[in-house]
Amino acid sequence: MTVIETTPTRVRFRRSGAGFIASVLGVMSVLPFSASVFYGLATGSENTTLMAILLPLAVAALVIAVGFALWSLRTGVDASAEGVVVRAPIGRRRFAWDDISGFATLDTRVYAQLTNGSRVALPGVGADDLPRLVAASGTEVVRADDAGEPVEAP
C-alpha cells in the first residue's frame, strides 16, 4: 500500500458559522419592520407622519443587519504557497511569506508579525490553526523556547 501525502493548495479560515446564522436571523427580524415602514410611506397611509419618523430607524436597522451579514461572510484568511490574504468586508490585503517574520497570539486573537515591524490581525485564525496556516507555505511550525533557540513544535 502506498501512502501519498498531499498538502492543500489553499487553506481558508473563516469565523464561526454561528455569526452568519445570527446575521440571517437579524435580517429576517428587521425586514418586516423596514418593509412596513417603506410600504406605509409608498402607499400614503393614514400614519404617514409616524412612518416618516420611523424611516431613519428602519433604514439604519436594515443597513446594520445586512452589514453584519456581509462582515460574517467576507472576513477571514486565505493562505497558499504564494502568501496570505486577509479578507475584510470591503477589500483585502495580500502578504507574501517573505513579508511575514512570525505569528503572535494575544488572548484568542492571532497576529502576523510583518518584517517592517507592524502587526496584522488574522480574523478566523486561532492558535490551534497556526500549524495548518504555516503548512500552506510549505514549511513547518517552529517556535522559540525560553533561551531563544528555535525548536520544533510538538
Where along the chain do its domains lie? 11-74, 76-145
Average pLDDT, the chain: 83
Rounded to the nearest 5 degrees, what angle is found at the Cα of 82, between the Cα atoms of 77 and 87? 20
Residue 146 pLDDT exceeds 50: no
pLDDT at 64: 93
Q: Residue 84: in which H helix or E strand, if any?
A: strand 83-87
CATH of the structural domain 76-145, one choice from 3.40.50, 2.10.260, 3.80.30, 2.30.29: 2.30.29
pTM exceeds 0.75 for this model: no
